[in-house]
Structure 1
Amino acid sequence: MNQGRQNGMSRKHKAWKIPRGAKKSPMPGFIEPCNPKVGPIPTAEGWDYELKLDGYRLQAHVKPGQVTLYTRRGHDWTAKFPSIVSGLQTLLHHTPAVLDGELTAPDSQGRPNFSALQTAIHEDRSGALVFYAYDLLYLQQHDLRNLTLRARRAALGDLIGKGNEHIRISENLHSDGATLFDAACRMELEGIVSKRSDAPYRSGDQDSWIKTKCQKSDNFPIIAFVEKLGARPRRVASLYLGRRKAGKLLYAGKAQTGFRHEDLYFLRECLDPHIIPASPL
């Protein structure tokens, strides 16, 4: 092959560089995600920082002729996001890979908007969605999870490059964490995630990933709801929330404001398959 043809070689035929130390392995199924713990920004050396994106966690599995998109809990949501599937196929050309990332719906200023994401999903409009990849767990018959974050990120950057309309890489910023956090809050973003640059990828709750939010928040499971009388289509009027303490589910309070009408219609349909005859308390 002459030099001109080598320089014109497409990404489709590129032999991706496998990082040293990666283990040869058959392609895995769904991998339980690494979950960051909530905490203050680490100040020691050896941490990298990136913006926390307000979206849905997605794990993308790319095989020759097939892309599968899994939620945080391992549910197959491939059919919901054809634009993401197409974007991955175009960009990776069916290179066997597993990517960890976040599905977002950018607003007019490019900021992730969770409400817009929910609306787009409810209305089956995936064309406005963007998948931001921030970790690479598997590449061409090699498991990368035992490698350092820095090595995995380097391989991810080589794989994604500049991305495309629907697939991008989440920037890993090696700057001061406090400075980035202040900037994120001024931009009205959710916060930042600090990650140990020398840590392997491990499933479950890990202190090698720490999320710091601009606004204090917590998770409150929905234990009951009231439907708006006579509403068509049906929608939620109020929610009853729980809280977990010492392994028990306790009543936390009622929420009935702060929702858009469209969200209340969407939420009512989402809750339908989870109705049970007895109180969960």
Structure 2
Amino acid sequence: MLATLGEAPSGEGWAFEFKWDGARALVETDSARTYVWSRHRNNFSSHFPEIVAGVPAALGGRQAILDGEIVVLDVAGRPSFSRLQRRLRIPTHTAWESSATGCLSVRTPERAELR
């Protein structure tokens, strides 16, 4: 769901999260292959080789679909949308500081605990 501008709710029972300023992404993985998709279904796998390599290892080869946000950090560790835009224009195998965060769901054939 895309964020929309509005008045912040008040009162008990409301929680807020930090705006990461990243790009929404789906990561599909199984024991044979992993893909990184944009919300418009563009294949960004070549732009994020560390995610393609890291997610299957983190999940132990289990099949999953991760719905989250990819964030590129600047040298001070702050989210940088301009660095993310540069990263999306140039497929690279150069090491960049990035992280996938805000995972919303995981679907696996059997229940699996993620750590």
TM-score bucket (shorter structure): 0.7 to 0.9
Which is richer in strand?
1
Q: Which runs of 5+ in 2 are unaligned?
A: none
- RMSD of Structure 2 on Structure 1 (CA): 2.2
Out of 62, 65, 69, the residue aligned to residue 36 of structure 2 is 69
Residue type at the aligned position of 2:108: L
Q: CA deviation at 1:98?
A: 1.4
* TM-score normalized by the length of structure 1: 0.36
Q: CA deviation at 1:137?
A: 4.2
Identity across the alignment (%)? 28
Residue type at the aligned position of 1:93: G
The answer (yes or no) to whether the contact 2:69–2:100 under 8 Å persists in 1 is yes
Do structure 1's residue 101 and structure 2's residue 68 form an aligned pair?
A: yes
Partner of 1:81: 48
Out of 6, 26, 42, the residue aligned to residue 59 of structure 1 is 26
Which is richer in helix?
1
Do structure 1's residue 38 and structure 2's residue 9 form an aligned pair?
A: no
Distance of aligned partners of 1:97 and 1:48 in 2 relative to their CA distance in 1, 3 Å threshold: farther
Residue type at the aligned position of 2:13: G
* TM-score normalized by the length of structure 2: 0.80
| 1:12-31 C-alpha deviation (Å, 9 max, x unpaired) | xxxxxxxxxxxxxxxxxxxx
Write the mapping of 1:28-177 to structure 2, written as runs, cut at 5 A. 34-125=1-92, 127-128=95-96, 129-141=98-110, 158-159=113-114, 161=115
Q: Which runs of 5+ in 1 are unaligned?
A: 1-33, 143-154, 162-281
Larger-gyration structure (1/2): 1
**Structure with more relative contact order (C-alpha pairs < 8 Å, separation 6 or more):** 2
| 1:200-237 C-alpha deviation (Å, 9 max, x unpaired) | xxxxxxxxxxxxxxxxxxxxxxxxxxxxxxxxxxxxxx
